[in-house]
Chain A
Amino acid sequence: MGRLLLLGPGLLYLTVLFLLPIAAIVGISFLESNRFGQLRWEVTFASFERALDPLYLRVLATSVVIAGITTLLAVLIGYPTAWAIARLPPRWRLVVLILVVLPFWTNFLVRTYAWIVLLNTEGPISGVLQGVGLIESPLQLLYTPGAVIAGLLYAYLPLMILPLYVAIDRLDPELREAARDLGASRARVFLTVTLPMTLPGALVGAIFVFVPSLGNFVIPELLGGGKTVMIGNLIRDQFLKTRNWPLASVLALSILGILLVLLILQSRLSRRYAPVSHD
């Protein structure tokens, strides 16, 4: 009984802010709305059929690709960064980790607007490239998928670095020495010991980056300029502009479905490399 009381606030929070909205979305996805956005209380699969339209599927695919590339780049940049931080003398580590999360303390929109300034045709990047003679005419960096990826990467990279840092820091250096002692070259040690043992951390980071990237609609709008439409933009438009709530719900569910698959995959993989096997 006492334990239930302790659980109370958390359960309430989860129910009101998480389970109820999801239940609502699932419920609405089986309804239909008229032109004015009013829901008709009749169970139908019409919205699911509409969601299979190649137009929507393509947006979904684009979103997955963009979020995927962002995640991949985050791993490639985050891994050496986390590694370098873990190798710093202890008193410097905290300082650098704080620097890594520092951008989170400023406003998200302000940070994104800064990228608009940077990537602008009149902006410093284009200017410098022209100055050194690498390109001749001003470069259109803004309003491209690349700009969207840069924005997402910038926003969520810390979420990759932190779990990776924890995983690398926890790795006993003697394990790497033992591998070399047994005849493994440095590259082999990385592939057979370091990588598998830090993989769970990388997977957590990947989920942390992929999830908010996939559903993001602010960055695609500001840096993609409406040309790169992601599933998040679509869902928001369906909810707020077109007011087709059932279709919006189905699209939202498709993201949830993808995330669920990813989480299952992540727990499977992590378990495989966890110290204790559960088979």
Chain B
Amino acid sequence: MTDPVHDATGAPPTPDDAPLLAVRSVSRSFGDVRALVDVSLDIRQNEFFALLGPSGCGKTTLLRILAGFEHPDTGSVTLGGADLLALPPERRPVNLMFQSYALFPHMSVERNVAYGLEREGLPKDEVQARVAEVLRVVGISETARRRPSQLSGGQRQRVALARAIVKRPRLLLLDEPLSALDRKVRGEMQLELKRLQHEVGITFVVVTHDQEEAMSMADRIAVFQRGRIEQVDRPVMLYERPRSLFVARFIGNNDLFPGTIAPGGLEVAGLGVLPTAESELAVGTAAWLGIRPEHIALVGEGAPRILTGEVIETQFLGGASTIAVGVSGYETPVLVTQAGATRLERGATVGLTWDPARAVVLPSE
């Protein structure tokens, strides 16, 4: 990775593997609120990239900086090697799909979608052809002459999407594109967004606070917390190798044990040394052990085990069961997930074991 380039003589040469978008040390404060703190990111050509984080962590602020409606206090942003921050919003090869959709209420669907192309001064018949084509791609050709107020939530969302992609931007920004939809439509639209991204070949940056949504759509995810990036990784890595307590808690379920680093694992008060994957942290440092409930195996009497406990409760969830196990010497029940229905009864004594490589060490906050 190259250092931030502040070259006044012009854009640096861009090799093929250079990122499309490079965000370098961007910070932005509103009064006392630090919306973004030293954020650096690389987004590659044709990537489906997600910004994930709880409410108020600065996701929209970053998108608005990329679109040109907000300016960072410090830092730089380049697109294809050229300084993006120097351009006004209307000159950026970037389009934003607003969280509220922001469709023009006084124009028909058709005119909404044509708006951006008309601004480019394209000939009328080309505008018409491209509008018809994009409406077909997002599947709302029949609504072309209606006003936004006469559409369903899902249809409006498609119009907003059509209006943003019809300009074929180099970068498409989507701010919580699916949050206004109900659960079922949402699932369909997630798949569809993914399909569309392949079809039109545009780099997508999607903001969401729904971790499942990010996991199911994105090639890579940046997890934000309070204006900082916690981790940037592929969904599988975020799930299996969270690098902070926040990420481990935010993405999926985790059993978490606080303790101190000991040779061969983590020493937890009341439980002894629990085996973990290797860690760079020095012996004696405070840290946490994180392990997914589905990576803990329950074993019967006599089998080798790491912990022993008693079943407190079982819950059958259709495809899988969750079993809460009370471990002697430890207050919080340990959650274990098993495929299918469990035959364990409340009160049964069980052994718990796991592959140490699955147990990640997380630095204390």
Q: A174-B98, A196-B106, A273-B106 are in contact. Are A182 and B147 (CB under 8 A)?
A: no
A275 touches B120 (CB 8 A): no
Least distance between B336 CB and chain A CB atoms (Å): 47
Chain B residues, Cβ within 8 Å of A180 = 68-69, 88-90
Q: How many whole Å from B61's CB to the nearest CB in chain A?
A: 14
**1/0 per position for B69-81, CB-CB distance to A under 8 A?**
1000000000000
B362 to chain A, nearest CB (A): 39
Q: Does B119 contact A (CB under 8 A)?
A: yes
A181 — which chain B residues lie within 8 A by C-beta? 67-69, 89-90, 94-96
B106 near A197 with CB under 8 A, answer yes
The CA-CA distance from A175 to B108 in the complex, in Å, is 15
- Whether the Cβ atoms of B119 and A183 lie closer than 8 Å is yes
Q: Are A177 and B116 in contact (CB under 8 A)?
A: no
Residue of B nearest to A276 (CB): B149
Check B90–A183 contact: CB distance below 8 A.
yes
Complex interface residues of chain B between 312 and 337 (CB less than 8 A to chain A): none
Q: Whose C-beta in chain B lies nearest to the C-beta of A199?
A: B106
* Cα distance, A276 to B108, chains bound together (Å): 10
Tell me the residues in window 62-103 of chain A with beta carbons closer than 8 Å to chain B beta carbons: none
* 0/1 string, B251-283, CB within 8 A of A gives 1: 000000000000000000000000000000000
| B12 partner residues in chain A, CB cutoff 8 A | none
Question: Which residue from A172, A175, A182, A273 sits with its C-beta under 8 Å from B116?
Answer: A182
A177: B residues at CB distance < 8 A = 67, 69, 89, 96, 98, 102
A255 to chain B, nearest CB (A): 32
List, in ascending order, chain B residues with CB within 8 A of A179's CB: 104, 115
CA of A197 to CA of B120, assembled, Å:
23
Label chain A's interface by main secondary structure. helix
Residues of A within 8 A of B94 (CB): 181
Q: Quick check: is B364 within 8 A (CB to CB) of the other chain?
A: no
Residues of A within 8 A of B150 (CB): 276-277
- Measured between alpha carbons, how far is A188 from B102 in the docked complex, in Å? 17
What's the least CB distance linking A9 to chain B, in Å?
36
B105: chain A residues at CB < 8 Å are 175, 197, 275
Question: Is A174 in contact with B163, judged by CB distance below 8 angstroms?
Answer: no
CA distance A156 to B168 in the complex (A): 49
Q: Does A130 contact B (CB under 8 A)?
A: no
Q: Does B90 lie within 8 Å of A275, measured CB to CB?
A: no
Q: Is the CB of A182 within 8 A of B102?
A: no
B342 at the interface (CB under 8 A from A): no
> Is B148 at the interface (CB under 8 A from chain A)?
yes
Q: Is the CB of A275 within 8 A of B149?
A: yes
Cβ distance B69 to chain A, nearest Cβ, rounded Å: 5
State which size class the interface on A falls in. Answer: 20 to 34
A-facing mask of B87-128, CB < 8 A → 1, else 0?
011110011101010111110100000011001100000000
Contact of A185 with B by CB under 8 A: yes
CB-CB contacts below 8 Å: A251-279 with B: 273-277
A272, closest chain B residue (CB): B106
A12 touches B (CB below 8 Å): no
What residue of chain B has the Cβ atom nearest to residue A274's Cβ? B106
A275-B148, A276-B149 are contacts. A183–B116 as well, Cβ < 8 Å? yes
Residues from chain A with Cβ under 8 Å of B104 in the complex:
175, 178-179, 193
A218 within 8 A of B: no
Instruction: State whether A184 touches B119 (Cβ < 8 A).
Output: yes
- Complex: A58 Cα to B146 Cα, angstroms: 47
Interface centre among A172, A180, A274 (most CB of B within 10 A): A180
> Does the CB pair A277–B147 fall under 8 Å?
yes
Among residues of A, the one whose C-beta sits closest to the C-beta of B106 is A273
Given A174-B100, A177-B69, A182 and B163 contact (CB-CB distance below 8 Å)? yes
Judged by a CB distance under 8 angstroms, whether B59 is at the interface is no
Measured between C-beta atoms, what is the minimum distance from B14 to chain A in Å? Answer: 24
Structural contact, A178 and B102, CB atoms closer than 8 A: yes
Least CB distance, B118 to chain A, in whole angstroms? 9
List residues of A (220-238) whose CB comes within 8 Å of B's CBs: none
| B167 interface residue (CB < 8 Å to A) | yes
A184–B91 CA distance with the chains assembled, in angstroms = 9
Contacts of A192 in B (CB 8 A): 115
Q: Which of A174, A178, A179, A180 has the most CB of B within 10 A?
A: A178
Binding site for B on A (CB under 8 A): 172, 174-175, 177-185, 188, 192-193, 196-197, 273-277
Q: A174-B102, A275-B106, A275-B149 are in contact. List 10 more A-B contacts (CB 8 A).
A: A180-B68, A181-B67, A182-B90, A182-B119, A182-B163, A182-B167, A183-B91, A183-B167, A184-B115, A184-B119
7 contacts between A and B (CB under 8 A): A172-B102, A177-B67, A179-B115, A182-B167, A183-B90, A183-B116, A184-B90
B interface residue numbers (CB < 8 A to A): 67-69, 88-91, 94-96, 98, 100, 102-106, 108, 115-116, 119-120, 147-150, 163, 167
